[in-house]
Amino acid sequence: MKTRYAILLFTVAFVIQASMLRYIAVYDVSPNILLCLVIMFAFLYDEPLGVVFGVVFGILWDTEFGLYIGISAVSHMSAALAVMKIKQYLNHELLLPALVSGLAGIILNNGVYWGLYKLTGIPHTFGYILRMQPVLIAYNLLFVMIFHLILRRGVIRHRKDRDYKGGFKEAKGFIMK
């Protein structure tokens, strides 16, 4: 994906995250589509676009809506780096590996985010945060699935595709070597 399209996609996601997602909240939990995009960019692309956009838009998010600047950036970056490490062993075109790496990234992001806020003195207990996690994980995994189904078409090419010109990794089953 070209960088200008990625910037546009993340900007639209930022605006949607800030303005409209609170209206589709379930049990006062809304999905973090910026995190889902960061995870999918880290999973699908070889360039570190997920890390870069995670840090940039995490800082923007904290500047506008956070108590402290940098907590979202660090948590998004840690999730993207973990997904980039996990993706080396998984096939990029299948949905199940994308969901597994998305689950790992979401759990790591939530743990780092809560841990950093706990260090700053937030009064929420671990039980309170843990109670929201099933809905938050399910909601975010739904968006990870949607973004994977949309973005993978531009990444995975096969020799049988009429537009195949080489240069892309060819999928070889569940685990890539």
Q: Return all residues near 103 (Cβ < 8 A) that are at least 6 apart.
A: 137, 141
User: How confident is the model at residue 176, as a pLDDT?
Assistant: 42
User: How confident is the model at residue 123, as a pLDDT?
Assistant: 77
Q: Which residues of the chain have pLDDT under 70?
A: 1, 154-177
Task: State how far the Cα of 10 lies from the Cα of 5, in Å rounded to an integer.
Answer: 9
User: How confident is the model at residue 1, as a pLDDT?
Assistant: 63
User: How confident is the model at residue 159, as a pLDDT?
Assistant: 52
User: How confident is the model at residue 157, as a pLDDT?
Assistant: 53
Q: H helices of 20-125, where?
A: 33-44, 49-65, 71-86, 95-119
Is the domain spanning 3-153 CATH 1.10.1760? The answer is yes
Task: State how far the Cα of 3 lies from the Cα of 6, in Å rounded to an integer.
Answer: 5
Can you give the pTM of this predicted structure?
A: 0.82
User: How confident is the model at residue 177, as a pLDDT?
Assistant: 41
User: How confident is the model at residue 47, as a pLDDT?
Assistant: 84
Kindly compute the dihedral angle of the four CA atoms of residues 142, 160, 168, 145, in this order, to the nearest 10 degrees. Answer: 0
